[in-house]
Amino acid sequence: MLKYLEQQLAERDAQSLRRHRRIAETACAPQQTVTSHDGQRCELLAFCSNDYLGLSNHPLLIEALADGARLYGAGSGASHLISGHSRAHALLEEDLAEMLSPQGPELNVLTFCTGYMANMALLTALGDAQTTIYTDLLNHASLIDGARLARAAVFTYPHNDLVGLERRIAGCSTPRKLIVTDGVFSMDGDLAHLPELLALAERHDAYLVVDDAHGFGVLGAQGRGVPSHFGLRSERMICMGTLGKAAGVAGAFVAAHRTVIDWLVQSARAYIYTTASPPAVAHAVSASLRLIRAEEGEWRRRHLAELVAAFRRGVPEVLGDLLSTRGWRLAPSQTAIQPLIVGSSEQALAMSAALESKGLWVPAIRPPTVPSGSARLRITLSAAHGPGDVERLLSALAWAGKGI
Ligand SMILES: *Cc1c(COP(=O)(O)O)cnc(C)c1O
């Protein structure tokens, strides 16, 4: 086996697909000290976190995490159904339910240790042998894996192809149908066509699962996410969101009709058979929700939108010719995820390395994370960035692009 694995690793090296981790010596922030895999230590201006509101290092959240540990200790000690379900978890579920159903308690909420687990839990608990799961080609890996593990039949439709989806779903032979989509697509930054998807679900008696990992906290009134951005509410919709991205801490939630939540508690293995997250984490997330919903969250969302607009205005100005001669393109995204699609893994890596030599941390995303031939720089902006950071990024992109 070792020999085989070494061959596989060598193949990845040869194709520029080998991944390496960096060690962050300092907190998640635009300015970070990192150590690379060859031991080099440097200061980088980072455009790669999903900490969209810049809350992960917020003094109030650090304080809340410490308070939570003083109140509830360091660990939960057991799974939720044994003895690990603390008051902090219960309060967080109430806070999320109240935030997401402002017109009254129509949604119930269940929290999870991670978004990956929430998706595994959700799709395996709902996707039984009498169900067909319809999943967008560009959905997140955790949705793909959840669908694989479920007993349901799975049909993958081309990205946002609602016509193909409807044709397929009209001929569905199982009694239950689940349409599954990212709210904001994580490697492209574009939005799912949620109103149309929900209407389609209604026409065909299907349910709609929305993974709002990149919308929650950022989009919609008070950061309620993509469903709120589109003004959608329906008991057909099951919304999953993560709490380690814009919310700045860790964990995830599923918000849905009470019956769905009751069923998950009874049957979702990724919920039942794992130790509950530290209560202090839930305590800190509750503090984060207060920030997200308050004026502080408002200005952070406004500031982020301004940075996104400045970046999108700047790219054609600084990269102009390169875009047309090389066939590079800025993905049509209005969110904090701003991918520059360059195509080949080698070019994406070379750009990333050139940017790093200028002190910028912009990751190259390669297959299999994205379809082959669509390697990209996945640039993410955060409310913790300033306008000067975006200017620095733009001029470094122009410089690096000329040298490739
Ligand atoms: C990050 C992410 C997840 C996983 O959430 P974690 O809390 O990081 O495990 C799920 N879905 C999408 C779309 C994501 O981007």
- The protein residue with its alpha carbon nearest to ligand 1, atom 5, reads 115
Query: Which residue minimizes the CA distance to atom 6 of ligand 1?
Result: 115
Banded model confidence at residue 104, pLDDT cuts 50, 70, 90: low
> Could you tell me the distance, in angstroms and rounded to a whole number, from the CA of residue 187 to the centre of ligand 1?
12
pLDDT digit string, tens, across residues 225-279: 999 999 999 999 999 999 999 999 999 999 999 999 999 999 999 999 999 999 9
Distance CA 218, CA 226 (A): 9
CA distance 49 to 268: 30
Q: Kindly report the CA angle at 333 between 327 and 336, in degrees rounded to 5?
A: 120
Is the distance from the beta carbon of residue 142 to the nearest atom of ligand 1 less than 6 Å? yes
- How many angstroms separate the CA atoms of 363 and 13, rounded? 17
Binding site membership of 115 for ligand 1 (Cβ less than 6 Å): yes
Between 382 and 103, residue with greater pLDDT: 382
Tell me the average pLDDT across 8-19.
89
Residue nearest to atom 7 of ligand 1 (CA): 115
Cβ proximity of 293 and 218 under 8 Å: no
For the record, the structure tokens of 131 come out as 């169900």
How far is the C-alpha of 11 from the C-alpha of 159, rounded, in Å? 29
User: How does residue 18 score in pLDDT terms, banded at 50, 70 and 90?
Assistant: confident
Going from the C-alpha of 47 to that of each of 2, 355, 380, 389, the distances in angstroms are 36, 11, 5, 9
Kindly list the strands in the beta sheet with 237-242, ordered across the sheet, starting from the edge strand earlier in the chain.
108-112, 252-256, 237-242, 207-211, 176-182, 131-136, 153-157
Q: Are 248 and 100 in contact (CB under 8 A)?
A: no
- CB of 378 closer than 6 A to ligand 1? no
Predicted local distance difference test score (pLDDT) of residue 105: 61
**pLDDT tens-digit series, residues 119-131:** 999 999 999 999 9
Using the predicted structure, report yes or no on whether residue 375 has a pLDDT greater than 90: yes
Distance (angstroms) between ligand 1 centre and the Cα of 247 equals 12
Instruction: Give the Å distance between the CA of 259 and the centre of ligand 1.
Output: 24
CA nearest 200: which of 258, 144, 136? Answer: 136
Residue 118 alpha carbon to ligand 1 centre in Å: 9
Q: Which atom of ligand 1 is nearest to the CA of 139?
A: 13
Say which CATH class 59-293 falls into.
alpha beta
Cβ atoms within 10 A of the Cβ of 215, count? 29
- Separation CA 60–CA 206 (nearest Å): 42
- Cβ of residue 140 lying under 6 Å from some atom of ligand 1: yes
Residue 319 Cα to ligand 1 middle (Å): 31
Q: Which residue has tokens 């009209």?
A: 170
- At 322, is the pLDDT very low, low, confident or very high (cuts 50, 70, 90)? confident
**Any ligand 1 atom below 6 A from CB of 339:** no
Q: Ligand 1: which residue has its CA nearest to atom 4?
A: 115
CA of 52 to the centre of ligand 1 (A): 14
Q: What pLDDT does residue 102 have?
A: 76
Let me know: does 149 contact 141? Beta carbons within 8 Å. Answer: no
Q: Which of 211, 216, 239, 370 to mutate to test the pocket of ligand 1 (most atoms within 8 A of CB)?
A: 211
| 143 Cα–ligand 1 center, Å | 9
Question: Which pLDDT band, with edges at 50, 70 and 90, does 132 fall under?
Answer: very high
CA distance readout (Å), 209 to 68, 154, 218, 257: 32, 14, 19, 12
Sorted by where each begins, the domain ranges of the chain are 20-49+296-403, 59-293
Q: Under the phi-then-psi rule, with left for phi > 0, alpha for psi from -120 to 50, and beta for the rest, what region is 220?
A: left
Of the pLDDT bands very low, low, confident and very high (cuts 50, 70, 90), residue 376 is very high
> Can you read off the two tokens belonging to residue 293?
């919903």
Please state whether beta strands 207-211 and 176-182 pair in parallel, antiparallel, or not at all (unpaired). Answer: parallel
Ligand 1 neighbourhood includes 213 CB (under 6 angstroms): yes
Coil, helix or strand at residue 317: helix
Closest CA to 158 of 178, 141, 134, 191: 134
What pLDDT was estimated at residue 302?
Answer: 98
Ligand 1 mutation target, pool 117, 142, 211, most atoms within 8 A of CB: 142
Render the burial of 302-314: b for 16+ CB within 10 Å, e for the rest: ebbbebbeebeeb
pLDDT (0 to 100) of residue 195 = 98
C-alpha 321/C-alpha 10 separation (Å) is 36
Q: Give the C-alpha separation, 250 to 96, whole Å.
A: 14
CATH number of the domain located at residue range(s) 20-49+296-403 in this protein: 3.90.1150.10
* Atom 10 of ligand 1, nearest CA residue: 115
Q: Is 184 in contact with 212 (CB distance < 8 Å)? A: yes
Using the 8-state DSSP alphabet, how is residue 190 labeled?
Answer: P
Give the pLDDT of residue 326: 87
Average per-residue pLDDT for the chain: 96
Residue to mutate, 48, 191, 242, ligand 1, most ligand atoms under 8 Å from C-beta: 242
Write out the two tokens for 223. 């950061």
pLDDT at 185: 97
Residue tagged 């890596």 (tokens): 349
pLDDT in tens, 22-77: 999 999 999 999 998 889 999 999 999 999 999 999 999 999 999 999 999 999 99
Q: Which residues pair with 337 in a beta bridge?
A: 380
| Of 279, 280, 225, 234, the residue nearest 256 (C-alpha) | 234
**pLDDT tier, 196 (very low <50, low <70, confident <90, very high otherwise):** very high
Largest CA distance in the chain: 61
Residue 335 CB–ligand 1 contact under 6 Å = no
> Is residue 252 lining ligand 1, measured as CB closer than 6 Å?
yes
